[in-house]
Structure 1
Amino acid sequence: MNAIELSGVDKTFGKVRALADLTLDVRAGELTALLGPNGAGKTTAISLMLGLAQPTRGSVRVLGEDPRRDAVRTGIGSMPQESAIPQALTVREAVTLFARLYPAPLAVNKALELAQLGDVAGRRAGALSGGQARRLAFALAVVGNPQVLFLDEPTTGMDAGSRQAFWAAVDGLKAAGRTILLTTHYLEEAERTADRVVVMNAGSILADGTPESLRGDVLTSRVRFTSDLVLAELQALPGVEAVSVDSRGHADLQTRQPEEVLRALFARNVAFSELEVGRASLEDAFLSLTATPKPDDTIRA
């Protein structure tokens, strides 16, 4: 079953085509990461899913219906990148106010617990730190007990401990059957948490799959070390497909055959240090898919 369905969606603003024949199904109960560079169309697509705008062409359905309908909107929770929270209200007052807007909300204390806000529940919203304000935005997004939850750059401003607790709460919501759509520039978080990754650019979908499958579509390993080898010698190593070298001799090799690279280094008695071998990350796949410019010292073999 799909919780969200976009079919043949175009969205234009004057002469600007923000979305181009976008078709996307988001399955119920999954955490889907929607990624893309700035201007890719993510914000426009989400505004349509939230019922805040209408498509120029095509159809948008959330929970099987038009997301502009009140009955659907009460089943949606949204944690936007920026929230206009009344600064004079305390944390508990703000969460209580939002809870009253929904027919079957979570208990206020439960929402505060999920967002780790119990110790600041009496503090005014205007006195919160940046990370605390993001956690309040999360509490406001979940207090309505939504079936579909949108998270837009959710961990911006959070410290490491708050991020860990936040993702634990999100895991609990997913385990309870909630559908979650995530946008983030922290690609390591998307790689760790998402069941599925959709990459957009120029209003269209470039790739759609699990983090593992997207990584498999690009160079699968990186070999890093420090040596006296010059760029031409590094390029000549077997299986090397891209090389970058900084001014201190730190080499970064991309390859599908890391074993062959290491075998060649040992066979040639190359002196090296600081060796690291790791698989390609979701960030590597993202950069490859969106053709983000590489550093000037990167050479394609």
Structure 2
Amino acid sequence: MANQVSSPIVELMQVTKTYGAKKAVNHISFSIEKGSITAILGPNGAGKTTAISMMLGLSDPTAGDVRLFGRNPKDRQVKERIGAMLQEVSVMDGLKAREIITLIRGYYPNPMEMTELIQLTGLTEEELNKRATKMSGGQKRKLSFALALAGNPELLFFDEPTVGLDTTARRLFWRTVRQMANQGKTILFTTHYLQEADDMADRIILFHNGTVAADGKPGDIKAKLTRRLVSFVVEADQSIIKERLYQLTGVTEIFELEGRLHVVTVNTDQVLGVIFREELAVRDVKVEQGSLDEAFDQLTQRQEEAV
């Protein structure tokens, strides 16, 4: 019997959300597969939070359709299968962290075991016995993580999850997220730390002005958009080398910085080929590729220029 293709966990189909005359989200479509880690990136006001609020069933699309597990996000069966850790952590006055977790676990048909919750989130005995209102910002983030996991969800949403966490807590958080994805859980997160998206996400969806500006693996997005440079130390007349390399179709710019000549090109192999084949008088040749930050900047600039 042929293997059945599993349905997407999340589907957005031609979704638009307007507030008055402003289109916060404009005609976006994408789907998310089971067991993946997807980062949703974009500058403030790009539409990320609006998209997530529609996926969580907190607001309705003006047009189009949002489906989680093939159902409306507001369905009870959907809510029992998702968990969310949003930026604003509101806690119940007077209750200790352990009591809040126990209360929230009770709302779900198959909650995560308390011992596993504690292990995954790194909450200490001292923190569990602390009143939530007395917790520090980082401790509240850990509590919020625990509450997101309380129902043992299949789909998790994290909005800026590591803000306020120290390096150790941040490392534990991402190790836990990867472990959960390996178990088949599906994770969507937003972050302003582009390095986190580069390191952790299987896929990046970049929002800009309410539309999807790019969608793909972090490496593919960088390769497609970021500048590639070949740099080296020149041992002869710079002008001769510049003149030769400017003849190559892929070279867009040549500049000097910190004693090295930098060649900006879409084809580093072509530049290297000329350097070595023609034995140009250069040494200490390096190939560099831009960062995700640079891809992010280039994409948003291109989108603005196109408007």
TM-score for both structures, normalised by structure 2: 0.82
Q: Is the 8 A contact 1:234 1:243 kept in 2?
A: no
Q: Which moved more, 1:119-128 or 1:141-150?
A: 119-128
Unaligned runs of at least 5 residues, structure 2: 1-6
Unaligned runs of at least 5 residues, structure 1: 294-301
C-alpha distance in 2 between matches for 1:153 and 1:79: 8
TM-aligned CA distance change 1:30 to 1:269, over 3 Å = closer
* Alpha-carbon distance, 1:50 to partner: 0.3
Specify the SS of the correspondent of 1:111: helix
* Alpha-carbon distance, 1:233 to partner: 9.7
C-alpha distance in 2 between matches for 1:250 and 1:159: 37
* Deviation readout 1:245-298 (Å, 9 max, x if unpaired): 77x77887643444636975993457x8xx8643333222222211189xxxxx
Q: Is the 8 A contact 2:85 2:159 kept in 1?
A: yes
1:149 aligns with 2:159: no
Query: What aligned pairs does 1:26-37 form with structure 2 within 5 A after superposition?
Result: 26-37=32-43
1:287 aligns with 2:293: no
Q: Is the 8 A contact 2:241 2:280 kept in 1?
A: no
Q: Is the 8 A contact 1:219 1:256 kept in 2?
A: no
TM-aligned CA distance change 1:245 to 1:34, over 3 Å = farther
C-alpha distance in 2 between matches for 1:234 and 1:144: 64
Q: Is the 8 A contact 1:195 1:211 kept in 2?
A: yes
1:211 aligns with 2:224: no
Query: What aligned pairs does 1:211-290 form with structure 2 within 5 A after superposition?
Result: 211-219=218-226, 221-222=228-229, 240-241=251-252, 254-258=264-268, 260=271, 267-269=280-282, 277-290=287-300
Q: Is the 8 A contact 1:92 1:122 kept in 2?
A: yes
1:192 to 181, 192, 199: 199
Max Rg structure: 2
**Structure 1 counterpart of 2:14, which letter?**
G
TM-score for both structures, normalised by structure 1: 0.83
C-alpha distance in 1 between matches for 2:289 and 2:88: 34
Percent of matched pairs sharing the same residue: 38
* Alpha-carbon distance, 1:204 to partner: 1.2
C-alpha distance in 1 between matches for 2:52 and 2:46: 12
C-alpha distance in 2 between matches for 1:109 and 1:22: 40
Query: What aligned pairs does 1:7-22 form with structure 2 within 5 A after superposition?
Result: 7-22=13-28
TM-aligned CA distance change 1:68 to 1:221, over 3 Å = same
Corresponding residue pairs, total: 288
1:139 aligns with 2:146: yes
* Alpha-carbon distance, 1:66 to partner: 0.6
